[in-house]
Chains A and B, each alone.
Chain A
């Protein structure tokens, strides 16, 4: 499975090549990947249904306790199934939606990479792995929202989504580290067993806050909900996949996964149920103010995410069952509805529901699919959505904390959602046929198969809920209610939830009836809603830019010597503090040196002093060279040939580089005042003193076992090499070397870019055409 996911990224990278071979059929070919993964998952079902979980172990960095281990239990299975099945359908759908689009290969690359990241996220057992995949979903989502990169609004929305989710990701990282410290494990399967320890731990409150911030930003909970509707700038297949069925549920998944470990405390229950209920209401309330069909659906997604969070907050066995049903129902109907929205947009050329009407006559199949999915969204029998809503009401009625408030919020959200469902399903399809920018006709089959399948599934599961019992049971077991009795049925008899449903049906229909008038009234609230959290986000971004500008002017004023002073002072401060106060000085040295050693050391000092006092640049460079070669000589004397050769070569190349820039520099000039020179002398002496003391105290007491002994002893047996320096570089510490290779490459690119763009600016100023435009 791990290989399949990692290989999936490879397939993603091959999309342009596949597009070259298969042309417009590429999305169908690529859909085979998630489809086959779904089949594999299906084959694992007997194990999952028996209540067991699959642990696929794979070490990644064992030294740091990081594994690529995948854990497939009921919860992970459900999510993975949704990701792969809807993923395959979305790919088929996107092939038609983006037919002939210039950037189709790019789209396929990113969406497949996203699919694999999401799959890795829900299957990962290790916290670090989970975080890596989490961030990958943020990045790929950024690329997908900004898919139409020539559109300013799309770019802005993409950046907003990225900032909000990545800021949450940082909080999440802190939270995960604290979680691992408190639970003394990086493995989710072990952490969920240690709920008692975790809930009592001193770090519980800070780690909960950090984790919740991560989950709330990702899953667009109030007050971070604003990025999700803006993300609708993405192409519709992306909205259908990322922003309803999968990515925004990542936060929900994390909360569900951690529920057995962290759930049940006052902080958890109150925060989650209140934030969830508030998000529900915000989503539903904002939804009915919009006429853009995608925005309507996006806000109703915010409402659904709020419901899920609230149910996890309530946390009773009943609420957990409701959670699973609602999750499944929402993924099915919202995926279908988004794809229908894409069809409407594609076929009519408008996204405004008030501009459409009577379309059922020209696109009957689409109308049918939209009708079924909307019934599920509205929570009407006999669809899965109805069951989800009934269970939700029942859980809310049994909630422990803040029951009346939560009930009020949930009830209002429910009838507003019903109105949204009616708007989406009735407005475009019924009434007189309206003129649309494009002449509407039935959607092609490839675009209908996805939504139709999802809608039919909502209907089937609603009619035969018994088929779901095993799945719900296995999933709820992963949520911390292992022995739950799950019996699902459509008809619960006449009870309070049913009455609530009836009242909300009437209120919802009334809202739909007077929608136009209501919208006009609500438009007057615009100045108030405009001051929502999004305005806060804008203000925060603006202030970050201001602060960045200020600190850049203060600290990075373009004078190299100031940077150097700053860097050295920080070094002296930190290392000096550690040396003097944490470890204490231990000076114990006896001077025994040979004459030639003294000569070399004297040369070094002379070179350094000369470089400072010379009044010609060439002489100063030569003096520095003397110093460099003396250092090389020291390496030779103390038998470190590798270092000596490197030092010599570096000195030589430095001379070459200096020769190239030397004559371009301005005349040698004294730029600093005597006081500044004294300050610089002070900083330099302090640094020198510190390094000397550091060296002496390192040599004086062998406080720690020497690591070089290990290297010397193991270089030949483990690294198969006699040159210890090289074995360390390319084997023992190869990861460090790899990092340095990237640094070197970046430095080279930096030099290149600086010289090249500087030259361009220079040219632009002089208004002369560039003589050489070829790349070099």
Chain B
């Protein structure tokens, strides 16, 4: 089932993040935040069923992802 695929994909992504290298911390951490929000997007769209919710609700969610995800990445970059 599709739901299982989504769950498994998201799950495996958490394992990928375990691989780091000291010289690339800034890039890796940025990717980490981005991937976290991608996972959150799947949780919202598929588990919370926003994919077929009224357009306005889904739009607010997607905007939140971009605004907060972006803000956190910018904050992180401004200090590294």
The answer to whether A and B come from one shared complex is: no
Interface residues of A (CB under 8 A from B): none
Interface residues in chain B, defined as those with a beta carbon under 8 Å from any beta carbon in chain A: none
